[in-house]
Amino acid sequence: MPQTNKKPKPPESISGRRALSLDLSTFDEKARTIRAVMATETPIMCPDYRMGCMVDEILMMSGARFPEQVPLLDTHDDSTIKKQAGSTRNMKVENDQLIGVRNFAENDCGNEAMTLIKGGHLKDGSVRYRYSNPVYVDVGASASINGKSFSAVDRPLRIATEWELLEDSVCAIGADPNAKMRAEFNKEIPAEIPQKSKEVHFAMNKKLYDLLILRGLAPGSTDAEALAFITAMPKADQDNIRADANKPDALTVDLEKVRKEARENALKYSTEVTDLCRRHGVEEMAGTFIKADTKIEDVRAKILDKLEETRKPLHQNTELIADETDKFRSAAVDGLVLSRGLAIEKPAEGAKEISRLGFTGMARLCLERKGIKHSRMDNEQILLVALGKRVIGQREVGMMGTSDFDYVLANSANKILLIGYNQAAQTWRIWCSKGTCKDFKTASRTRISDAANFRIVRPGAEIKYITLSDSGENVAVVTYAENMGFSRQALINDDLNAFDPFKAMGFAVASTINSLPYAVLLDNAALADTGTLFNTTAVTTAGGHANQASSGAAVSSTTWSDAEIAMLNQVGPKGSKLNIAPKFILTGSTHKTNAWLLINSTSLPVADMSSGVLNPNTGIVHVLDTNITGTKWFGAANPMIEPTVEVSFLNGVETPTMVETIDNSNILGTTYTMYFDAVAKALGFRGLYYNAGA
């Protein structure tokens, strides 16, 4: 039987570092270079994730891959370019050694490294590299790669036949004893990478291979399969079997005898599994167990689980697992939504089958899941019990608001409500800001005033404090709510059209929210400074906003230019030039075409202008919404630059909430209340402009 205590999957690639010692004799201070042996084929001991033990790592120089240059870092620190001491160039493989020239940059890091090397204090270096698919050689075995023989003596070998150099470093401590600075120095070293043969031979310790066969390895397995087999064993078992393999008197295996015993054990196992499944009436499961080599005790447990599952009532048109309540409810909710022809991106498993059940079929399925018999109930009685209502003269079952049917009905309606909400156009999101209120109390949206221009300070003169003021508008969310439900008749008649009003309600919620900021513009209520939101009074007068056209006119390049000039001329409370430019033009259907021409014409749409005059209004955004009635139109600035109108929600919840109304007059029907909490408020006048139109 295979081992079950398997290790996690090892990483697909391996990265590592190798250190080297520097030979200062090749240091050229003027050229700021030093030549180094960066890596050799000397084995370096390191931990191995796959083997679960220490191994000797060998980098084959014939498989080295490197670019024209790699960064020269301070102790492998690649977190900032300040730690780059230069670069290593002119690399090549020579006599099974990777050689390169380190070039030190004229920066702090490069200068510090050169100073330490010159003084004899810094004598070490290191390289970082990575590779994948190494060749493993077990203790006592050998491998031949590209004509070279490798034997594992004290520890397994991990041989990188192809590896990639990532970076070079100067550092304090070295590890590779044969990687040193070269004594000779040549300025030009042509980089060349010998082609590596793909032929790789691998062999495992013969005694270890035989012992693994006794532990369950299939006779005739390859050495790689044997290595994977032992790697999957617990660490303690690996250590014990390797120790046994290294003993002089390790067991010699009679392979023919092992094969015979293996066949006998396999026949005995399959016979026992088949008999267990037959006795419990689940013969179809035997093949799966035998193929997976499932343990006998696990076979018994899975058979009991299957028998328990089949005893639970399931609806014949569903394949849902009965005890997975959450999965069933998700499928049931999506099923009812799908029954109305509404699209769901990823319906829950089983939703399509359930979509054909209707109200009564869904209620029957919910009762079956609870183990409640309903064969003698009519449709009304089934719906009553499924909703948890008391049926006089019959056995009381269920509880109010706790049944699956209650949940499915409410959540399906809520999902359809949100579909309608998301389908409605909400143009306020284009030009308004969004706010949050934590409760229903009045909240102040305070704004600090601008500061006057800085004053000249003469020599020896006192620096004065600047004076700022604050102003703001008060905001308080209000609640909007409506009731909607399923009538007794709709439920008994399986009338799934009863869901349609919920979609309409969701659309109505979004439309109501969308109308709020436009009502602010049209109502033109007074702000905290006592002036109406739009007026023609100069800003130097209390309550004056100077953000309304003196007479109404249609949208044109001329009237839009007037709006731009009025907004650009707005100043702060301290007289600062704000230079606010309108970003949005807001119109109803009356000015739809004029606004489109204003923005999209390739030249300025004025009769006395030539076609060569470029249109300066192409960056303006047109917001069309029929909440703006008549000929009125507005200009608005980017709310991130200058406050205009804010739409606020209680705790930031923008979507409607739906709750079941317990106390209602329906005998069987169910009623829900849908509500949301919101308010729209003008926070300032300087970023808004109004023209009554014509």
List, as one string, the DSSP characters of 673-686.
EEEEEEEEEE--ST
Average pLDDT by consecutive 10-residue portion of the chain (694 residues)? 43 61 79 89 83 84 92 90 93 90 93 89 86 82 84 86 91 56 30 36 67 76 78 79 66 57 76 80 82 83 75 43 68 79 77 76 79 72 71 43 68 84 91 92 73 79 71 86 79 74 90 96 93 94 93 94 94 85 95 92 67 82 95 95 94 88 57 91 95 94
Q: Which of 376, 346, 433 is nearest to 638 (CA)?
A: 433
- 444 within domain boundaries: yes
Last residue of some domain: 250, 268, 285?
Answer: 250
Look-up of token digits 């079950």: 4
Query: How many Å apart are CA 537 and CA 566, to the nearest integer?
Result: 12
Say whether both 483 and 395 belong to one domain.
no
Query: Given the DSSP bridges, would you call strands 69-74 and 163-171 parallel, antiparallel or unpaired?
Result: parallel
- 193 within domain boundaries: no
Cα 51 from chain centre: 33
Alpha helix positions (H), 191-222: 206-214
Structural domains counted in the chain: 5
- 483 within domain boundaries: yes
- 51 within domain boundaries: yes
Query: How many Å apart are CA 5 and CA 238, to the nearest integer?
Result: 12
Say whether both 234 and 152 belong to one domain.
no
Q: Please tell me the predicted confidence (pLDDT) of residue 132.
A: 82
Say whether both 468 and 600 belong to one domain.
yes
Q: Identify the three-state secondary structure at position 126.
A: strand
Query: How many Å apart are CA 389 and CA 410, to the nearest integer?
Result: 16
Task: Confirm if 127 and 170 have CB atoms less than 8 A apart.
Answer: no
pLDDT digits (tens, 9 = 90+) for 3-23: 444 444 545 556 666 666 566
Say whether both 229 and 265 belong to one domain.
no
Q: Kindly list the distances between the CA atom of residue 534 and the CA atoms of 562, 634, 688, in Å, as whole numbers in the listed order.
A: 15, 10, 8
Say whether both 478 and 445 belong to one domain.
yes
Look-up of token digits 């707005």: 570
Say whether both 332 and 385 belong to one domain.
yes
Q: Please tell me the predicted confidence (pLDDT) of residue 607.
A: 57
Query: How many Å apart are CA 245 and CA 690, to the nearest integer?
Result: 93
Q: Is the pTM of this model over 0.85?
A: no
Q: Please tell me the predicted confidence (pLDDT) of residue 282.
A: 82
Q: Which domain holds residue 299?
A: 258-305
- 655 within domain boundaries: yes
Cα 106 from chain centre: 43
Residue 304 contacts by C-beta under 8 Å, 6 or more apart in sequence?
none
Task: Confirm if 161 and 200 have CB atoms less than 8 A apart.
Answer: yes
Say whether both 403 and 481 belong to one domain.
no
Q: Identify the three-state secondary structure at position 144.
A: strand
Say whether both 382 and 283 belong to one domain.
no
Token pair in block for residue 586: 């807001």
Half-sphere exposure at residue 288, Cβ-oriented, CA atoms within 13 angstroms: 9
- 200 within domain boundaries: no
Angle between helix axes 235-245 and 206-214 (nearest 10 degrees) is 130
Query: How many Å apart are CA 653 and CA 676, to the nearest integer?
Result: 8
pLDDT digits (tens, 9 = 90+) for 650-675: 999 999 998 876 545 444 567 888 99
Task: Confirm if 381 and 373 have CB atoms less than 8 A apart.
Answer: no
Query: How many Å apart are CA 596 and CA 605, to the nearest integer?
Result: 11
Say whether both 75 and 126 belong to one domain.
yes
Last residue of some domain: 396, 417, 438?
Answer: 417
Look-up of token digits 């769901």: 344
- 311 within domain boundaries: no
Say whether both 108 and 67 belong to one domain.
yes
Alpha helix positions (H), 605-645: none
- 514 within domain boundaries: yes
Task: Confirm if 167 and 128 have CB atoms less than 8 A apart.
Answer: yes
Say whether both 180 and 229 belong to one domain.
no
Task: Confirm if 566 and 537 have CB atoms less than 8 A apart.
Answer: no
Token pair in block for residue 44: 């370096």
Output DSSP code: residue 662: S
Alpha carbon dihedral 615, 621, 625, 627, in 10-degree steps, equals -100
Amino acid at 222: T
CB atoms within 10 A of CB 331: 24
**Percent helix / strand / coil, the chain, rounded to 5:** 30, 25, 45
Query: How many Å apart are CA 90 and CA 67, to the nearest integer?
Result: 9
Last residue of some domain: 417, 443, 462?
Answer: 417
Half-sphere exposure at residue 335, Cβ-oriented, CA atoms within 13 angstroms: 26
Say whether both 364 and 497 belong to one domain.
no
Cα 604 from chain centre: 46
- The DSSP string of 517-551 is HHHHHHH--B-TTSSBSS--S-TTSTT----B-SS
